[in-house]
Amino acid sequence: MFEKRLKQLRKKRKLTMQEVADYLGVAKSTYAGYESGYRQPTLESIQTIARKLHTSADYLLGLTDYPEPPAELNHNAKQYLNYEQLHWDGVPLEKDDLDLIRHLLERVLRDRTLPKKE
């Protein structure tokens, strides 16, 4: 099931094997082995593949039949960081706090898109 879903989603997202392999930091032949079932990716690689294919590891592994995350999990954090009355455990967050959180999230996302080193 993993191999079939992997290939289906890659094609649906109009990505080549090379593009996904580059994102993972592996050779194209290694990634092709994942799609054929000849090779098994690590759990970390499965999570990375899921991010690239905009799905969940659960879907790729056959634990759910829903390729898209549930709507209640599909929120844009950027919207929440603009609210005036955001708090953490009842403690109001100041504008400087929100700016720091926004900066941290931007850094996390930027680091995710860098090629992985083996």
Record the tokens describing residue 23, joined without a space. 């994102």
Q: Phi/psi at 53 (nearest 5 deg)?
A: -90, 5
Domain membership flag for residue 87: yes
Report the domain count for the chain: 2
> Are residues 42 and 85 located together in one domain of the fold?
no
What pTM was computed for the model?
Answer: 0.59
The residues pairing with 91 across neighbouring beta strands, listed in sequence order, are: 88
Residues 6+ apart with CB under 8 A from 49: 6, 20, 24, 34, 41, 60
Q: Domain containing 53 — which CATH number?
A: 1.10.260.40
> Are residues 84 and 48 located together in one domain of the fold?
no
> Are residues 32 and 7 located together in one domain of the fold?
yes
Distances (CA, A) of 117 to 9, 24, 49, 108: 24, 9, 15, 17
> Are residues 101 and 51 located together in one domain of the fold?
no
d(CA 30, CA 99): 41
Domain membership flag for residue 118: no
> Are residues 34 and 64 located together in one domain of the fold?
yes
Domain that holds residue 86: 75-112
> Are residues 7 and 51 located together in one domain of the fold?
yes
Domain membership flag for residue 117: no
What is the full per-residue pLDDT of the chain (118 aa) written as tens digits?
899 999 999 999 999 999 999 999 999 999 999 999 999 999 889 999 998 998 888 889 988 887 876 555 556 666 667 666 777 777 888 888 888 888 888 888 777 766 666 5
Distances (CA, A) of 78 to 42, 102, 106: 31, 8, 10
